Structure 1
């Protein structure tokens, strides 16, 4: 897919996410995140910040790692959520290996972030693990 086509698709999907409650358009969120992160050659951890009506405030690529891992600091996630006055977040990161299956470390990180954000009344709605051709929602798997 050409860079121009990807850019146009990202713009359209982001507009779909900003127009309504993201819970009413989970496929737009999943598609946007997979398109934005799925092709990366290094791990990227991103956060979708949402207001009280679950509308997108901002999508931020917060941490960048190596081919196989990235370090995520819960304190920084909390600070960024508070700075944006977010009521909820959707977490996302990619697996450059092309395998979207969450690791035990991914599941533990989600739990830690959920607990940290809950202390400041920010709800974690989902955590997507993304690859070029696939994505996994931890919420859909019942792991949130």
Structure 2
């Protein structure tokens, strides 16, 4: 039975939320205009540039999450404005990560999905990440383990387990993205997850979930009953 895909909860950080309403659109325009004024003080019309950028990317959040190559392809942005956008995006991610640090991650699934979507939804190649948790399922750290191609990332269960042991983690959450936008698990995804679960269980490490992030959609192995073992 195919996994039921879920839509990402609309979160400002996600970058793929529905089109903003009038109030949000006005706030987006004001924020981006202020950012461009500081990044491009000599620009003759930062307000116009901000409107054009929002029309191109859809929202301030989507602009922040856009890959560098997409920013480079937008006429009007220079090195200073692109650096400001990337800095603000990285700051937002660090703040979101800090808010989860030491918290019981599974207590707030919406916040977790919003964070993972902000990190991965607009990636053009697959990236495999792991959230390492302590005995109370509190976040120890979140690390990128591998980057692959547009449709494949090599994952080695022994390396996943080795890193969990190094961090004294009691549980992990596997995460990767599908650049196609469709978070349906592939046969390779299912097989890799089973291998990691088996390797981790030998050492008493639980795999709490495997989340696949698409474009505005996501799939949780735990919620769809695809996680065959859960300590």
Q: What TM-score results when the alignment is normalised by the length of structure 1?
A: 0.93
Task: Provide, for residues 87-139 of structure 1, a one-character-per-residue CA deviation record: whole Å limited to 9, x for no partner.
Answer: 00000000011111111211111111011011111100000001121111010
Q: Which runs of 4+ in 1 moved over 4 A?
A: none
SS at match of 1:34: helix
Mind listing any 5+ residue stretches in structure 2 that lack a counterpart? 1-61, 65-84
1:2 is aligned, of 63, 72, 91, to 63
Q: What is the match of residue 65 of structure 1?
A: 148
Q: What is the match of residue 17 of structure 1?
A: 100
The yes-or-no answer on 1:76 pairing with 2:159 is yes
User: Is contact 1:13–1:29 with CA below 8 Å preserved after alignment?
Assistant: no
Higher relative contact order (CA closer than 8 Å, sequence separation 6+) = 1
Alpha-carbon distance, 1:37 to partner: 1.2
**Which structure: greater strand fraction?**
1
Q: What is the match of residue 46 of structure 1?
A: 129
- Distance in 1 between residues matched to 2:92 and 2:220, nearest whole Å: 21
Mind listing any 5+ residue stretches in structure 1 that lack a counterpart? none
Aligned residue-pair number: 144
**Which structure: greater helix fraction?**
2
Alpha-carbon distance, 1:65 to partner: 0.3
SS at match of 2:101: helix
Alpha-carbon distance, 1:25 to partner: 1.0
Q: What is the match of residue 189 of structure 2?
A: 106
User: Is contact 2:117–2:213 with CA below 8 Å preserved after alignment?
Assistant: yes
How do 1:117-128 residues align onto structure 2 when only pairs under 5 Å count?
A: 117-128=200-211
- Distance in 1 between residues matched to 2:200 and 2:89, nearest whole Å: 32
SS at match of 2:198: helix
Moved more, 46-55 or 25-34: 25-34
Pick the structure with greater CA Rg: 2
